[in-house]
Every structure is written in structure tokens, then in C-alpha cells.
Amino acid sequence: MMKRRIQPIGLIVFVALLVIGCGQGNGVFTDKPSRVGLLATLDTFNLAFEKADVKRLDALVSDGYVHTNGSWAPIGKKEWLGYIQQRKNRLDKKELHLLSYQVLDTKVHCHNTMAIVTSKVEVTELDNGLRVHKAFRVTQAWSFKDGQWKRVAFQDTPIAIQ
């Protein structure tokens, strides 16, 4: 059985974000439009990711964005957008076909102007003709500043397909 190491940097980033975002308040947004805005932003983000819309995703992630997944060391905004551009190129060349992209079991944990969003993501693709089905548990950190929600951090963990 393979043991999974917890990446210290990912843990540090999420603890820091929680401490910063949860400094005061009862964990519930008092500004209802902000919560509604976050839910709308999540929908916009997921659609942009599905289509590999680099321009829209660039506007939806913070400059200090940190992306961590089970395959790579943590990367920043520039590197992540580079990955999205490569994915877009593969979609355009028909090397990659997205058959299904589902975001399920989403929970939003609000902390004043910060939010932690947890979900299950299931993806089915044709990658160079090979059908691939993947599932992940994901955690995202979002920050509300200057009237806009931006994703500041992301972590995924591959899970068994059920």
C-alpha cells in the first residue's frame, strides 16, 4: 500500500488562510449578495475551467494563487495558467475530449470575506483515444476583495471512483 505524504506547504497555506479569514465573526456572511456572488462565481469558474478559458480564469484567481494537486509540487498562478493553456491547445487539436465534468457535493464554509469550498469532482475524458475517468476531493480558498471573489488556493486529492 502506498503511503501518501501530506505536503507541508499546502497545509501551511490552508491554515494561514483560515486564521486570516476567520479572525472575527460567526462564520456566516452578513452580506447576502456576497454569498450569492460567490455561488455565481463558482459556476462561472467551473464553466471556464471546463472550456479551458485562460482569460476568464486569469481574472478569477488572485495574483498570489497557489495550486496543489496529487501530481505536482505546488505551483503559482503563471504556471497554472500555462497548464490551462496547454489543456486548451489539446482540446482545440482534438487530442483531448471532455466527455463529462461534474462538481458534486459542494459545501461552502463562510468566514467573513473568506470562504473555503469543498467538493467532489468527477471527470471523464478521451485522452488520445483512451477513455479516462478520474475523481477528486477538492478544497478551494476564496477571498472577497474590492467587490469580487477570487480563488486564492486549491488542493485536490485523487479518490477511488465509485
Domain chopping of the chain, boundaries: 27-157
φ and ψ at residue 118, rounded to 5 degrees = -115, 145
Q: What residue ranges of the chain have pLDDT lower than 70?
A: 1-34
Calculate the alpha carbon distances from 123 to 30, 45, 85, 96, 143 in Å: 35, 16, 18, 12, 26
The pairing of beta strand 61-68 with beta strand 75-76: antiparallel
Give the torsion sign (CA, 70, 72, 77, 79): negative
> What SS3 class is residue 12?
helix
Instruction: Measure CA 143 to chain center.
Output: 13
What's the rounded Cα separation, in Å, for the pair 46 and 66? 17
> What pLDDT shows up at residue 72?
86
Of all helices (H) and strands (E), which one includes residue 108?
A: strand 96-111
Q: Give 32-92 as a DSSP string.
A: HHHHHHHHHHHHHHHHHHHHT-HHHHHHHEEEEEEEE-SSS--EEHHHHHHHHHHHHHHHH
Tell me: the pLDDT tens digits for 48-78? 999 999 999 999 999 999 999 988 899 999 9
pTM of the model: 0.78
Q: Which CATH class is domain 27-157?
A: alpha beta
Query: What pLDDT was estimated at residue 71?
Result: 83
Residue 112 is predicted with a pLDDT of 84
What 3-state DSSP class applies to 31? coil
pLDDT for the residue 146:
84
